[in-house]
Amino acid sequence: MALTDAKTQVDQAFTRADPRGPSFENAFGGATSFLRRRYTKDLAGVDVAVTGVPFDQAVTNRPGTRFGPRAIREASTLQPYDPPYGWGFDPLAVQNVVDYGDMAFDYANVPEVPGLIEAHVAGIAEAGALPITLGGDHSITLPILRAMAKIHGPVALIQFDAHSDTWVDDDPARIDHGTFLYKAIREGCVSVSNAVSVGIRTENPDTLGVTILDAPMVHRDGVEAVLGRVREIVGDRPCYVTFDIDALDPAFAPGTGTPVWGGLASWQAAAMLRGLAGINLIGGDVVEVSPPYDSGGITAVAGAHVAMELIALAGWRKR
């Protein structure tokens, strides 16, 4: 197949017959499923299900991440022509990847949203598919971790973020993107000894024992040193990867709600994600992409690449 197939391929979100392999549909046209995968609610035989949770009512500053899943899907249309560079295999050829669509919820009934997210992601995982979630703000990760922990027990966690998200919050009724990890640890969803946060650059007096590999360390010691520590911490325990796009410096990801300078460069994030190949991945997300504050769509592009890297991590053991 070649790019000339763009003459006949269109709306592969609905028309593609083979769930695996590349797509040569024009990047600027057609229905924008993630990576031109088929939209489906049928998870039979599916290896990876990409789903969106367009919820942003738990932010502390700028909203807009409800538009994140749509923007990430649109940005992804340039990616399915070729395997992602540097992996040495095609994750779309060795796995059945589908777009499971977005989660439905009543925007005016905020308290019920976490339970819906937990059930939504649990349904994907219990069907045998690995969930990759497009956010949405970072509060969505807590109910996802609840779902993962019910299946796997306390999970290892790799968090890319500017913020530790362990601010104290002992009110179970509150929904806050800055406290998801505090609650996940307190509820026993995350194994603290196997949890690591990369790219942190905001003060928090209590990180609850999570290992912090902050942004200055990444810049000073380099990617390989950081990867060595991450691998040592998570081991082979079932591992969830959450990527807050504000882990990247605002120069690389301006379209987010709480940007902080001094962050990771996109090349550092790419190298670290690829350096995690072989971890026991059980799911992942990319959150906090806020298109209203984006410039030229570059934050959505970064989010789409992160999601593709997560799919590659999922396929590493199947290659």
- According to the model, what pLDDT value does residue 12 have? 94
* Distance from the Cα of residue 172 to its chain's centroid: 24
Confidence label for 6 from pLDDT (cuts 50, 70 and 90): confident
Nearest partner of 279 among 216, 211, 233, judged by Cα:
233
What pLDDT digit, counting tens, does each position of 117-144 carry?
999 999 999 999 999 999 999 999 999 9
214 touches 176 (CB < 8 A): no
Q: List all residues 6 or more positions away from 267 whose beta carbon is below 8 Å from its beta carbon.
A: none
280 touches 241 (CB < 8 A): no
- According to the model, what pLDDT value does residue 2 have? 59
Q: What share of the chain is helix, strand, coil (3-state, %, to 5)?
A: 40, 15, 45
- According to the model, what pLDDT value does residue 318 have? 87
250 touches 259 (CB < 8 A): yes
Q: What is the DSSP letter of 202?
A: S
196 touches 158 (CB < 8 A): yes
pLDDT exceeds cutoff 90 at 26: yes
Q: Taking residues 69-96, what's their average pLDDT?
A: 97
What pLDDT digit, counting tens, does each position of 177-200 carry?
999 999 999 999 999 999 999 999
- According to the model, what pLDDT value does residue 62 have? 95
pLDDT exceeds cutoff 60 at 282: yes
Nearest partner of 36 among 14, 54, 51, judged by Cα:
14
- According to the model, what pLDDT value does residue 7 have? 87
What per-residue string of b and e applies to 221-237 under the rule 16 or more CB within 10 Å gives b?
eebeebbeebbebbeeb
136 upstream amide cis, omega within 30 of 0: yes
What pLDDT digit, counting tens, does each position of 220-267 carry?
999 999 999 999 999 999 999 999 999 999 999 999 999 999 999 999
Q: Taking residues 158-178, what's their average pLDDT?
A: 94
Q: How far apart are CA 52 and CA 70, in angstroms?
A: 8
Q: How far apart are CA 89 and CA 230, in angstroms?
A: 23
The torsion angles phi and psi of 270, rounded to 5 degrees, stand at -60, -45
Strand partners, 244: 287
Nearest partner of 149 among 239, 236, 61, 269, judged by Cα:
239
pLDDT exceeds cutoff 90 at 53: yes
Give all domains of the chain, ordered by start, each with its CATH number: 3-25+42-318 (3.40.800.10)
Q: Which of 18-27, 33-42, 123-132 shows the lowest mean pLDDT across its residues?
A: 18-27
Tokens at 77, concatenated: 């249309």
Q: Which amino acid appears at position 9 of this protein? A: Q
3-class secondary structure for 266-305?
HHHHHHHHHHCCCCCEEEEEEECCCHHHCCCCHHHHHHHH
Which CA distances in Å does 28 have to 32, 74, 75, 240? 9, 9, 10, 33
112 touches 87 (CB < 8 A): no
The torsion angles phi and psi of 149, rounded to 5 degrees, stand at -65, -30
Which CA distances in Å does 241 have to 28, 184, 281? 30, 14, 8
188 touches 273 (CB < 8 A): no
249 touches 262 (CB < 8 A): yes
